[in-house]
Structure 1
Amino acid sequence: MTVPARTALSPRATLLRPGLILVGVLLIATNLRAAITSLGPVLGIVQDDQGLSSVAASVLVSVPLIAFATFSPIAPKVAAKVGLEHALGAALLLLAVGIVLRSTPPQPLLWAGTALLGVAIATVNVLLPALVKRDFPARIGPVTGVYTAAQSGVAAIAAGIAVPLAGQQSGGWRLSLGVWAGLAVLALGVFAPRLRRFTRIVTPSAGPGASGTRSPWRSALAWQVTLFMGLQSLAFYVLLTWLPSIERVVGISSAAAGFHQLLFNLSGLLGSLLCSALVHRLPDQRPIAIGGSLLLMGALTGLLLAPGIAVIWAVIAGFSIGITLTLALSLFGLRTRHYAEAGALSGMAQAAGYTLAALGPIAIGAVHDATASWTPALAILVALVVVQTVFGALASRPKTL
């Protein structure tokens, strides 16, 4: 568990205007999904060009999620060694390098670059809530909502333009995926002035520190936040992976299914903005957690019973996941007393959460293969959202670790 130390500033450190700080946060956030959502639409092209089997292609899609689960607990320790700002700056640089390598021959670089960008995004995922907790302590919900909306919007754009950018040539996917390195470089350039500031977070050797903090891994509240984060992430990645397949079974064209994915991501933007507007206006966040989860449950039930109007369920599901994602990220700051605690809780929740997210699409796909039907798989997903609702309500009570 990390505990706070005094912020140490270099002699050249200067105060930046909150508006410029917020722009930097938003640009960093736009990099959190674009490199991932841009792959799905051109995955078939990558398979054909690189001679990948369906199993290998599935593993390639899962590599970033595995990196999230593996590296999330390590990210706070990296920040403790090199400083919060420097860790974020290094992650943006690593992201740009990873994206470029993924788009560069020979094939081993495809895998290496994908793993590197996963590590980079995991680092930013964990540390960005800590930065928001430190720099915007009274505006955690609104700032988290705005940056989550930015992340969802760019993710939708990345998915929507992936195929047009790739064109008809077999190697066009390299440009389609590689172009997002420019966004990482842009974010690093805007964030660069922050690198003059150095925030050191020290880690105690063992047990609670003088401030009475303790490891989130031994906190019931932290596990409630973690399970809420993990289950809503599982639902998102299951739908991101399998929604087009579910739609094609009932006769919806591939083009229409792709458009529905775009709407799924864009509606998440609206859900994020709504959550950010509400999160600080309520005495506690239980109504948001329960309401968002029930909306998702309704969308999945609709997809189960009336898949022919999947576009409606896709929009509702995306909207609800935008709400629950923003709330889950906000809880890292709302349920902790200091940005160091927020970073530790973020690392724990995202490690376990992305483990669930990585396993979810594989498990749901296996259920479908075993039963030759999407009905049991969707029924299981509805049941998991019931569990999500319970843990969301518990995690959203007005208390801290």
Structure 2
Amino acid sequence: MTELCHSSPVRRLSHPAVLIAGILLIAMNLRAPFTSIAPLLERLQAALGFNATAAGLLMILPLLAFVVVSPWVPRLARGLGLERSLFLALVTIAAGIALRVQGSMLALYLGIGLIGAGIAVGNVLLPSLVKRSFAQHVALLTSCYVLTMGIMAAIASALMVPLAQGSSAGWQYAMLIVVVLPLVTMGVWWPQLSRRSLPAAAKEAEKVAEKGAARPVRQAAVWHSPLAWQVTLFMGINSLLFYTVNSWLPSMLADNGFSAEKAGSLHGLLQLASALPGLILVPLMPRLKDQRLIAFATPCMSLAGFIGLWLMPKWALVWVLLLGAGSGASFILALSFMGLRARDAMQSASLSSMAQTLGYLLAAMGPPLIGALYDMQGNWQLALMVCAVLSVLMAGVGWLAGRDRQLPEASASE
């Protein structure tokens, strides 16, 4: 990590260590505030009186917010700069955390929506920030912040029930205490607000826009590029599979004879397992000439997990570890591709926006569609077969996205 501080873009910063700390802290806010809701879902239903359908909508609401907000994030960054846009994302997350504990269904839904909007901004812009400030270490730093993201999500999920049980305020106290994350991050990130970075690519895009171009040239290059679509599909299929398992794993296990407590423990293990690949990818990624082999192999881990749950569900511990590790590693790769396949920070932001907008749209469709297959069949076999087929498709897309290539330059005529 020390060598990161000596890369040329960072030498111009007065406090490069603060920038690195800020990136890791921002990452801690990009999963924990909404994944930590799942352990408290039954308490929320009992307290606010909503049914399972409403609970399902609550769990995919952040994904829908990602879909709505992500396309607008590059424009926000061009207007405010990366640093101030990320600070605004933290403020939005903190406001959502405070709003969701006010004791009504409307406040809960609005609060979760705000959290999703703030996370969407962070999801899109953090790869761009890494590309701008650490262009020679994109894979390394991406692996570090995804590892941090996953560990914090696992910690938050593990603490929710004990915090709710240990306080007279119950679930409201447990869900409110998470506001410490964005508040501390805002304090650490504050020194960066003196900068209003606007990469050269953004200035060029604004000039073209002033002349009447339909959209920024970098955006056009991204949406017309087969490579960008390969990265987007890799991100999207992985997100669909992860959020499907995240939503339905306890039900799958319960249908195969696991107790609610055991199913809940394995669900928590899934979160932790998704963070662990960062320990391997942090030292490995900088040594790879390209990422084809690993981008092919990680979906195969998920494939093995789905086939295992289908044919040998009693070995669920093994399959959950494979599913978590496969999806976590693929997520790190997808985020790394947003920097590695782009030519500059603004093209990275555009690729990130495209991949996450379409990717989370696929992810939001996954849980209800897989649930519908269960309703049709009365068991999880067909649903698991579909997930296995999608894993095979993702492996093929990963081989293409993992090639050592970059997006093309866009011409003004586009």
Q: Identify whether the pair has TM-score above 0.5, normalized to the shorter chain.
A: yes
Aligned ranges 1:1-400 → 2 under 5 Å = 15-167=13-165, 172-200=170-198, 201-202=202-203, 203=205, 204-205=208-209, 206=213, 214-400=220-406
1:171 to partner: Cα distance: 5.5
Does the CA-based 8 Å contact 2:86-2:125 persist in structure 1? yes
* Structure 2 CA distance for aligned equivalents of residues 213 and 375 of structure 1: 41
| 8 Å contact from structure 1 (residues 231, 356) kept in 2 | yes
RMSD: 1.8
Cα distance, 1:169 vs structure 2: 7.9
Post-superposition shift, 1:73? 1.0
Residue identity matched to 1:300:
F
1:113 & 1:263 partners in 2: Cα distance?
A: 27
C-alpha contact (below 8 Å) 2:48/2:104 kept by paired residues:
no
Give 5+ residue unaligned stretches, structure 1.
1-13
Q: For residues 238-283 of structure 1, what are the alpha-carbon distances to aligned partners after superposition, in whole Å with 9 as ceiling and x for unaligned?
A: 1111111111111111111121122212222221232232222122
Counterpart CA distance in 1 for 2:65 and 2:233 is 19
Residues 18, 189 of structure 2: 8 Å contact kept: no
More helix by share: 2
* Shift of residue 215, structure 1, vs aligned partner: 3.1
2: CA distance, partners of 1:252 / 1:169: 30
Contact 1:166 1:176 in 2 (8 A): yes
| 3-state DSSP of counterpart to 1:15 | coil
- 1:191, 1:216 → 2: CA distance? 30
**For residues 214 and 224 of structure 2, what CA distance do their matches in structure 1 show?**
11
Greater mean deviation of Cα atoms: 300-309 or 169-178: 169-178
Distance 2:253 2:124 in 1: 34
Letter in 2 for 1:132: V
Is 1:146–1:276's contact at 8 Å kept on the other side of the alignment? yes
Q: In 1, are the aligned partners of 2:84 and 2:196 still within 8 Å (CA)?
A: yes
Q: 1:214: Cα distance to partner?
A: 3.9
Residue 105 of structure 1 deviates from its aligned partner by 2.8
CA distance in 1 between counterparts of 2:195 and 2:129 reads: 12
Q: Is the 8 A contact 1:144 1:326 kept in 2?
A: yes
In 2, distance between residues paired with 1:213 and 1:96?
30
Report how far residue 326 of structure 1 moved: 0.3
The whole-number CA distance in structure 2 between the counterparts of 1:298 and 1:155 is: 25
TM-score, normalized by length of structure 2?
0.90
Give the SS at the match of 2:29.
coil
2:48·2:103 contact (CA, 8 Å) conserved in 1? no
* Offset from partner CA, 1:18-63 (integer Å, 9 cap, x none): 3221111000000111111111111111011111011111111111
**Using a 3 Å threshold, how does the CA distance of structure 1 residues 169 and 54 change in structure 2: closer, same or farther?**
farther
Aligned with 1:74: secondary structure?
helix
Deviations 1:271-305 (A, max 9, x none): 12322322221221001101111111111111111
Kindly tell me the number of residue pairs found equivalent between the two proteins.
388
CA distance, structure 2, for counterparts of residue 179 and residue 291 of structure 1:
38
Gaps of 5+ in 2: 1-11, 408-414
Secondary structure of 2:50 counterpart: coil
Whether the 8 Å contact between 1:64 and 1:118 is mirrored in structure 2 is yes
- CA distance 1:252–1:283, shift in 2 (3 Å): same
Letter in 2 for 1:257: A
The code of the aligned residue for 2:279 comes to: L
Letter in 1 for 2:150: S
CA contact (8 A) 1:141 1:330 kept: yes
Measured in 1, the distance between the counterparts of 2:260 and 2:192 equals 44
Task: Judge conservation of contact 1:140–1:330 (CA < 8 Å) in 2.
Answer: yes
TM-score by length of 1: 0.93
Alpha-carbon deviation of 1:163?
A: 1.2
Question: Secondary structure of 2:71's partner?
Answer: coil
Q: Which letter does structure 1 place at the counterpart of 2:349?
A: G
Report the secondary structure of 2:324's partner residue: helix
2-structure distance, mates of 1:177, 1:337: 40
Q: Which structure's relative contact order is higher, taking Cα pairs within 8 Å and 6+ residues apart?
A: 1
